[in-house]
Structure 1
């Protein structure tokens, strides 16, 4: 974009925070400034900041009040910021220090929302009365790149695709579900959605890495369709770098009739996955497709060893999370505690058998600790994962179990990311106050558990 065009640009993005001691602070940027451009390139969001801010020489165009200013970096003399009005000629000094963070925090961008009507949409299965942000159905390629959110690619414009390619926004995470357009469009509730394979082919042709997800819905995309979807996606390996198969999640608040994944459904899906894994492994040394932990639990099948999951490309999607915990638990030593304290922790019902084995090991080593399974009455008994437990269900379950001097260890997975509260806005402090015991939020790993015990047991 030409300098004159950029000077006419009154948009930009507001700077929410300047971190102390950062380059941005030293060159004179302020919270409240609107960042319009870096080195003559328009800044639309934090991705542009990441992309254009990683150059050896930086010139920021900002709007401060009614004035537009150029601010230049000078790594040899950063304590003196070079600020000039736009009409004057500005000069960039020296070279930026790339390993340092610029220290600029922009206001969040407005998230593109989903226009589909997926029959299994979890947001549509939420009860009323929760905080507004929980009802946002995002379908934004930027959230996919930045945070690993899954998108259907149904609202990508040509400009979006061009930006993904030009800025190498890779990897992105794609909800595929089925490569049969008729079946997929029924699943996502969008009869006008384009052929997903065309979208994947476009990304692969530009060497964009993708991680694909298949939400398994019995009667829709299981059996032969599941096998065909996996083999269709495999054709675009290594750009389709991994494929995860996860069971549909259903709450008691759902309005659409859907069949949950039962033991036989899970078993048959794993059979298909294992057959294809064998073929892919022989050819590429990579399994490529993986069953989620929940599928193994539903099928009653033992987990494969941790090395089966390679680099754990979809662990945040519940693929390899339990095997990782089991692997870590075998190698960690029980802590030495000087005080005879009693600890209590909790988990969802599906993970309880695996956590309890580790807890039993700690008990045998002299640690006073108990693990409690919490049934999800808020979303329904079919929702068994720890991350969807609510504060009310936790309090209700533990109220008759914990004693005055106990220490409650709260796994951090129950907390909303970036927040200090659970899904129902109950905080750790609320749980502590209601139960009348000390509550500590811990990292949801064997190490996180024993570190907390060691700290609180001193």
Structure 2
């Protein structure tokens, strides 16, 4: 019934040690004459692989021996005495991610334009990034060394892409054999060591929905609270990923998923005290269903996976509304600009902004950006690119443009198509404001006027 193909992992060569990127003047690191480009390779005889090792081996230690390879190639051995809470003043290079060995049929990297920048084709499968940033791993190729490290350094929580507990289905989705797809022993070992697990299901119509999804939820819920939650998010197909095995997500499909999962959520809340199995916001929006209440999401354990973001927006907007009621904007007519967002979220934002305009006299406009870079089926905000924004230029009105911060990579000013904010700004005569939330935007726009 299922076929698979196995491709060897692509592993990037890693240099020894943790490379220093910056040293704070006057800090302990500066006193030790450490410099950017130096690499710390051992601490008290233990091999250092990255800054996580450095933090772990130095935590609470007052006497240490550091082995350093200077940027000029010299080898130093430093005997250090420090106060327990004394800061090193060191910033390290970013972790080079371990590459994925799977061939997931739904992998978003397969949906990139052929000329996309190389970084978009990196498929990470790294338990360190899972701990640090909530990146999902499948655990299919985790090594014994990595397993021991997660447990010893207590790199918890870990975010694990399960997709299906039916091993035949999971193997098919990941493009690997059934033996590698079985991570039961690995999960049990992590859970027994006190590592908290958050799971993910990328829902692919006709493959891991219906009875397969219901079984997956029930199997994972049996391990609560060691498995704390599962996020169920829809498959995303761009115009470049046309794998015939994949069926696009439709509104009807989303309505069916909600009807199947909602009774399970009710039972789990009654039994476990938590919803546990959370549907991504996109499923509710595509289905035309209302977003669940704040209580439904609890402490929002999967918000970074697009679960509960719309509810958070509602809560934040209500808070902003109350603040503006107490202190209305002094010159609301100056708040005249365009707010960009994805096509899916645009109706929700537009309804709230129209209320704001009517009540306070602001002149804000909402523009849902069509995604031409990845294709019209991609309607979420986070995948908007600079070229998409440029294509909508004629529809932009007002004295400024608000661009959601989520379209930029981390804290940088670069978008998925490689366009940087200054490059985009050069195409506009009005200021562009990257913004995290509506309140920050209103404050920034008001001050700039």
Give the TM-score normalised by the residue count of structure 2: 0.89
Q: Is the Cα contact below 8 Å between 1:125 and 1:253 reproduced in 2? A: yes
Q: CA deviation at 1:66?
A: 4.6
Q: Identify the residue that residue 146 of structure 1 maps to in structure 2.
A: 132
Gaps of 5+ in 2: 1-14
Question: Helix, strand or coil: the match of 2:107?
Answer: coil
Q: Identify the residue that residue 359 of structure 1 maps to in structure 2.
A: 353
Question: Helix, strand or coil: the match of 1:422?
Answer: coil
- 2:420 is aligned, of 423, 427, 431, to 427
Q: Identify the residue that residue 106 of structure 1 maps to in structure 2.
A: 92
Find the aligned partners of 1:72 and 1:456 in 2 and give their Cα distance: 53
Find the aligned partners of 2:30 and 2:352 in 1 and give their Cα distance: 47
1:318-337 equivalences under 5 Å are 318-332=306-320, 333-334=323-324, 336-337=329-330
- 1:259 is aligned, of 208, 230, 247, to 247
The answer to whether 1:278 aligns with 2:266 is yes
Q: Identify the residue that residue 86 of structure 1 maps to in structure 2.
A: none
Q: Is the Cα contact below 8 Å between 1:28 and 1:71 reproduced in 2? A: no
Q: Identify the residue that residue 3 of structure 2 maps to in structure 1.
A: none
- 1:392 is aligned, of 362, 382, 387, to 387
Question: Helix, strand or coil: the match of 2:392?
Answer: helix
Q: Identify the residue that residue 203 of structure 2 maps to in structure 1.
A: 216
Find the aligned partners of 1:313 and 1:66 in 2 and give their Cα distance: 45
Encode CA deviations 1:83-142: one digit per residue, 9 max, x unaligned: xxxxxxxxx3x52316x4x33222234321111111111001111112111111111111
Gaps of 5+ in 1: 1-9, 74-91
For these two proteins, the number of residue pairs brought into alignment is: 424
Find the aligned partners of 1:12 and 1:419 in 2 and give their Cα distance: 26
Q: CA deviation at 1:21?
A: 4.7
Q: CA deviation at 1:29?
A: 2.2
Find the aligned partners of 1:366 and 1:26 in 2 and give their Cα distance: 58
Encode CA deviations 1:399-431: one digit per residue, 9 max, x unaligned: 24336xx11111111111242121112222222
The answer to whether 1:182 aligns with 2:165 is no
Q: CA deviation at 1:244?
A: 0.5
Q: Identify the residue that residue 200 of structure 1 maps to in structure 2.
A: 187
Find the aligned partners of 2:261 and 2:90 in 1 and give their Cα distance: 44
1:223-262 equivalences under 5 Å are 223-257=210-244, 258-262=246-250
Q: CA deviation at 1:198?
A: 2.8
Q: Is the Cα contact below 8 Å between 2:170 and 2:181 reproduced in 1? A: no
Question: Helix, strand or coil: the match of 2:334?
Answer: coil
Query: Quick one: structure 1 residues 132 and 307, their matched pair in 2 at CA, closer, same or farther if it must change by over 3 Å?
Result: same
Q: Is the Cα contact below 8 Å between 2:433 and 2:441 reproduced in 1? A: no
Find the aligned partners of 1:296 and 1:400 in 2 and give their Cα distance: 28
Q: Identify the residue that residue 445 of structure 2 maps to in structure 1.
A: 453
Question: Helix, strand or coil: the match of 2:98?
Answer: coil
Q: Is the Cα contact below 8 Å between 1:409 and 1:442 reproduced in 2? A: yes
Question: Helix, strand or coil: the match of 1:178?
Answer: coil
Find the aligned partners of 2:234 and 2:193 in 1 and give their Cα distance: 31
- 1:165 is aligned, of 151, 154, 164, to 151
Q: Is the Cα contact below 8 Å between 1:399 and 1:435 reproduced in 2? A: no
Question: Helix, strand or coil: the match of 1:434?
Answer: coil
Find the aligned partners of 1:195 and 1:206 in 2 and give their Cα distance: 19
Runs of 4+ more than 4 Å apart: none
The answer to whether 1:370 aligns with 2:365 is yes
Find the aligned partners of 2:342 and 2:419 in 1 and give their Cα distance: 17
Find the aligned partners of 1:448 and 1:58 in 2 and give their Cα distance: 45
Q: Identify the residue that residue 44 of structure 2 maps to in structure 1.
A: 39
Q: CA deviation at 1:162?
A: 1.1
Q: Is the Cα contact below 8 Å between 1:27 and 1:72 reproduced in 2? A: no
The answer to whether 1:134 aligns with 2:139 is no
Query: Quick one: structure 1 residues 72 and 276, their matched pair in 2 at CA, closer, same or farther if it must change by over 3 Å?
Result: farther
Q: Is the Cα contact below 8 Å between 1:113 and 1:140 reproduced in 2? A: yes
- 1:29 is aligned, of 24, 30, 34, to 34
Q: Is the Cα contact below 8 Å between 1:242 and 1:288 reproduced in 2? A: yes
Encode CA deviations 1:364-405: one digit per residue, 9 max, x unaligned: 2111211111111211111001110111111111224336xx
Q: CA deviation at 1:351?
A: 0.5
Find the aligned partners of 2:304 and 2:181 in 1 and give their Cα distance: 27
Question: Helix, strand or coil: the match of 2:365?
Answer: strand
Aligned-CA RMSD value: 1.9
Find the aligned partners of 1:43 and 1:151 in 2 and give their Cα distance: 23
Give the TM-score normalised by the residue count of structure 1: 0.88
Q: Is the Cα contact below 8 Å between 2:334 and 2:446 reproduced in 1? A: no
Q: Which moved more, 1:39-48 or 1:226-235?
A: 39-48
